[in-house]
Amino acid sequence: MASRTRRPGPATGARDGSRRRRLPMRLLLPSLVLVALMAMLMLRGYVHSEILADHRVQPPAATDRVPEQILKGGPVIDTRSGRTTSLRVPDRRLVLTFDDGPDPVWTPRVLDVLKEHKAHAVFFVTGTMTSRYPDLVKRMVAEGHEVGLHTFNHPDLSYQSKQRIDWELSQNQLAISGAAGIRTSLFRPPYSSFADAMDNKSWPVTDYIGARGYITVVNNTDSEDWQRPGVDEIIRRATPQDGKGAIVLMHDSGGDRSQTVAALDRLLPDLKARGYEFDNLTEALDAPSAHTQVTGLDRWKGKAWVFLVQASERITDVLVVGLAVIGFLVISRFVLMLLLSGIHARRVRRRDFSWGPPVTEPVSVLVPAYNEAKCIENTVRSLMASEHPIEVVVVDDGSSDGTARIVEAMGLPNVRVVRQLNAGKPAALNRGLANARHDIVVMMDGDTVFEPATVRELVQPFGDPSVGAVAGNAKVGNRDSLIGAWQHIEYVMGFNLDRRMYDILRCMPTIPGAVGAFRRSALERVGGMSDDTLAEDTDITMAMHRDGWRVAYAENARAWTEAPETVQQLWSQRYRWSYGTMQAIWKHRRALVERGPSGRFGRVGLPLVSLFMVLAPLLAPLIDVFLLYGIIFGPTTKTIGAWLGVLAIQAVCAAYAFRLDRERMTHLITLPLQQILYRQLMYVVLLQSWITALTGGRLRWQKLRRTGVVEAPGGAMPRPRAPQDGADRRPVG
């Protein structure tokens, strides 16, 4: 995963604008994944009757347009080919029918009882349940039962158009074809009853269903098991009078069907002893089977449908598990941050707290600079106001905008400029380290300004001889814009609150490049700054931990940095950070199995960094995905309530972090909008980093455009007179 960090030269892509630009794989792949996930969720919503479901039920209507022979006829209605006939089941023959299944809990138990008593039945299945549990429908057919259509989404068809009716039938057939490889000619309308309950609303539907080639099957004996009246009552209602034949309505889905199963286990042997036979419908009527085999393209279409539904179910299950994981991680992180950052603040703010003897000796401040002409003067002047004795080494890394000349023209004491060909930030820092005169080295970015007390506060932890490096408190200087305010919240809450937590746990993952300090001897022991990753600050911090050094956090060592001011710049910066962090974790992975300080960091620090900085942000979009899904498909109120609960927890953490950092709370007004917009950008950036890592891509260092709007606190220092003769002094480093 190593990647060089040299600044990019001129673009070497297409030589003219006529060549069509292809969408990079790192963008194309996440887009395809997102589209596929949304399609799977939509399919799941459809199959679970959360999309296109219609739960209206038609009230009773007049019956004057229903043929008399239908109202007074049997429960089997045949309107195929213009017929208007009905049939009854012969005496001593019962056709048990089960609606609304298959159900993964109750249908197998019903099938077991039927198999035990050698009885057949008819199962009127819905397309939604068949698509989700195809093996149960396959078992029904294999054990000699008949299957009938009960629509796909279980709507009252009297409310539906002919196009919707056709859709309900065809989708129901598609699911049955995929599950059992058959088509069926049996149909039972949802919410149907006896034949004499047919009215002017339901009869046209029945007539149309017959024109589509289906036999409509209602019932003439209703067990009313859906009311759960008790086993004895279900048996009484399901038993026909005087030995007559009947089609009995029961249910194998839609709720607790334990009474149905128990009643069935008693009903079958009792009525068999009284001479009843339990057949499927065509057996009872001595008619050809209602099933026909499906082959060829139709069979494969059914299989494909069932496969997609099963995939959507499994993917959704995985997403739900992921949601549970991210929920646990988010809550755990918030609890740890609140608890441990409070402990940290109380510890370092005690009046008797001390890191050790005060550190008063001079330190070297290294300022790597690449095309920082707009910022470098503010940076250097802020250092000149330092309350601690320092020397400043500005390493010009091949700038082409006169950065080195600007520093030299300032003519400030204890400020040296070291020039080198463009080699990247780690090389610039190592060059500065070689030219530093003192044992403690402070590192900062060329677009950052320090407060007068920053260096003094930053180096005090070195009074503890076990401390090898110190992380300062980086703050956003250009917070007046909306995107700047969002980053300000992120810095105060996400970075500095984290650093307090990691300081207590002794596993600080990153010393910010904007404000950090090192023992020179500690840096030399780990080989200096490395260019193996794009996050050299994270890389060196992990190396310090593995070498046995403590990395501390100095909350009062404040540095003001210029944050990206456009979405493109922010994208570039965070993409480099997230990808570099992954590289650093991979580089130091052996710490997981090592002993001593390296092993401790590997088994404490690396898992925490991986969980909280890589896995949690990667899974965090699930919160918003399910928020959107819940708002559209329900339960809307509970979904919004849960999301607001998470937002409230974040607001509490943010407010606490702002209080610890003594920041004004006014910027937290933008927190809800940050969670809706800014967080989505961070999701995509991290996902893109994952894609880059998994595909073996390499990311080059990208220079952000600076404006120089961040000035030294208290205003700029007086400017010295410009050097004469345009001398271009080049100190040798």
Q: Which amino acid is it at 394?
A: V
| Triad 530, 534, 536: Cα angle to 5° | 40
E-assigned strand segments in 332-447? 363-369, 390-397, 415-420, 440-443
What is each CA distance from 26 to 8, 23, 36, 114, 607, in whole angstroms?
A: 19, 8, 16, 55, 26
Alpha-carbon distance of 426 to 419, in angstroms, equals 14
Pair 539, 577: CB distance under 8 Å? no
Phi, psi for 304 (deg, rounded to 5): -65, -40
Q: Where are the alpha helices (DSSP H) in 146-190?
A: 162-180
DSSP 8-state class, residue 388: S
Q: Among 306, 367, 312, 297, which Cα is nearest to 45's? A: 312
DSSP string across 623-673: HHHHHHHHHHHS-HHHHHHHHHHHHHHHHHHHHHHHHHTT--GGGGGGHHH
Strand blocks (E) in 79-136: 85-87, 93-99, 121-125
Identity (one letter) of the amino acid at 492?
V
Q: Assign 517 to helix, strand or coil.
A: strand
- 8 Å CB contact between 447 and 516: no
Position 127: which residue type?
G
Q: Which two tokens stand for residue 309?
A: 């539904």
On the 0-12 / 13-18 / 19+ scale of CB atoms within 10 A, 710 is buried
Question: Choosing from 99, 100, 252, 537, which is the catalytic residue?
Answer: 99
| Interatomic CA distance for residues 465 and 470, integer angstroms | 12
CA-CA distance, 344 to 496, in Å (whole number)? Answer: 12
Among all chains, which residue has been given the structure tokens 């609606």? 99
Look at strands 85-87 and 76-78 and give their pairing. antiparallel
265 is catalytic: no
DSSP for residue 602: I
**Residue among 345, 655, 608 at smallest CA distance from 473:** 345
Helix pair 258-273, 106-116: axis angle to 10 deg: 10
Q: Is 103 a catalytic residue?
A: no
Q: How many CB atoms lie within 10 A of CB 647?
A: 15
Q: Please give the C-alpha separations between residue 412 and each of 161, 336, 399, 730, in angstroms, as whole numbers.
A: 85, 46, 20, 14
Taken as a whole, the chain contains a residue count of 733
Do residues 448 and 561 touch, judged by C-beta distance below 8 A? yes
- Quote the CA–CA distance of 109 and 102 in Å, as a whole number: 11
Q: Which amino acid is at 105?
A: V
Place of tokens 């953490």: 653
The two three-digit tokens of residue 441, written as one number: 């080295």
> Is residue 190 within 8 Å of 154, Cβ to Cβ?
yes
CB 66 within 8 A of CB 199: yes
SS3 524: helix
Catalytic one of 145, 154, 251, 388: 251
* Whole-angstrom distance, CA of residue 297 vs CA of residue 605: 56
* Residues labelled catalytic: 99, 251
